[in-house]
Structure 1
Amino acid sequence: MTRDEYELDICTRSGAAVDVPFKPDAFIEEWKPRVAECHDNVDYWVKHHVGYTEVRGWIYLMGSEPGPVVYTAHSVVRGPDGELFDITPLYNNDERRGLFITHVGDDATFLAMRTGIFITLRCQGDCSAPPLDPMWALQQYVLEPDEAL
């Protein structure tokens, strides 16, 4: 599979992207997940939790500018119940997390597609699924009592 074919597959499935909840208490003794180290975090978690598996994929990078939808390589955990959760903290955990698209294929293909300058991919042009609306994150935003409109 070429990089262009892979990107088209991800972009075509963008309509099936899911919101993966963050698990803030994902600590193991002295170890805790590190910001921007999702793949290592998930690998460590799964190694220490029987019945849990790593799920590779792509997460929507939140942006305020209109234009192509950009995803970055990301890993989350699937629990024994089949539910996905994210253990990797953000610099600001109050920020809305992007939607996640699962990688379909083996780890070798995922690694090849996320290596070097290919850590991100852009969805634009002739995709069969409509691109995600960058404003989706604001749809569930609730004003704080002391915030003005």
Structure 2
Amino acid sequence: MKKKVDDYQIYEKYYEQIFQQVKNDPFAQSLGIQLTKFEAGFAEAILEVKSHMVNAYGTVHGAVIYALADHAFSVACNAYGKTSLGLSTTIQFIESAKPGDKIVACAKEIKRNYRTGFYRIDIFHEQNLIATMEAVSYRKDQYFIELD
């Protein structure tokens, strides 16, 4: 019988390795997304809206908000070093943001089991909730870090 691995112990023991991997996301970096908090099952990322990130009406494009939320989700669900992929997401856009605004995505793990994880990601401008996303991840067998 296989020994069950404690995800939280993996997170603690390999924190630096995991952190280096999740913070160096090339797509997020290309948008200017910065990871500001990283914990087991939780991530916070910030993005300053630039003038090229808006739609025809001068407000931040929904795809930019989605990309920020998706990055926070990715970091939160991969916090245990086990390769996790997004299975599904549903996002609701509530308010808009403009160039110069700093928007923040907070991803929180709601429940995780052997194969799936459930997350809620809230996106804020200052104290205003501008979007919210629910997301489900699929947890593969492989780890993206070297285990002892």
TM-score, normalised via structure 2 length: 0.28
Q: Which has the higher contact order (CA 8 A, sep 6+)?
A: 1
Report the TM-score when normalising by structure 1.
0.27
